[in-house]
Amino acid sequence: MSFFRFYWLRRLIRRNTNPIPQPRAELWRSRLSIIYTLIAWNAFGFVVYQIYSGKSDWAKYYGIKTEEEEKMSPGHRWAKTLGIKDAKVYRVTGFSVEKVEDDEKVESNK
C-alpha cells in the first residue's frame, strides 16, 4: 500500500472494521491461494488447448482478419495499425538485417 500512498484509505478501513484474528486470516489466505492456483492452471490449460486445436490465431479462425492482412508481415500490419504510410520495415535475424518490401521481397544486407 505504501507504493500508491493511499494512507487515507488505510485509515478509513482500519477505523470502520474490526481486526481479523491471525489464524482465521491465514486460513483464508491459504484458501484463496488454492483457488487462485486452480484458476491459473485452468487458464493455462485452456490456452494450450486452443493452440493445439489450431485456434491460436483467433482473428483468422473467426474470420475477422482479411486475406490481405493475413499475407502482410507483422511489421507492415503494425505500421498500418499505427497509420504510417509507406513504412520501411526491417527484419533482424541474428547479425543480418533485411529490408522487407510490401510484396514480401527480402533484400539482405550483411
Q: Is residue 8 part of a domain?
A: no
Q: Is residue 5 part of a domain?
A: no
**Do residue 86 and residue 104 come from a single domain?**
yes
**Number of domains composing the chain:** 2
User: Which residues make Cβ contacts (< 8 Å) with residue 79, sequence separation at least 6?
Assistant: 87, 89
pTM: 0.50
Q: Give me the pLDDT at residue 105, please.
A: 46
Q: Is residue 32 part of a domain?
A: yes
**Do residue 80 and residue 103 come from a single domain?**
yes
Domain coverage including residue 74: 66-109
**Do residue 74 and residue 99 come from a single domain?**
yes
Nearest to 9 by CA among 22, 17, 77: 17
Q: Is residue 40 part of a domain?
A: yes
**Do residue 70 and residue 100 come from a single domain?**
yes
Q: Give me the pLDDT at residue 15, please.
A: 92
Q: Give me the pLDDT at residue 106, please.
A: 44
Q: Is residue 71 part of a domain?
A: yes
Residue 82, C-alpha cell as written in the block: 499505427
Q: Is residue 94 part of a domain?
A: yes
Q: Which residues of the chain have pLDDT under 50?
A: 1, 104-108
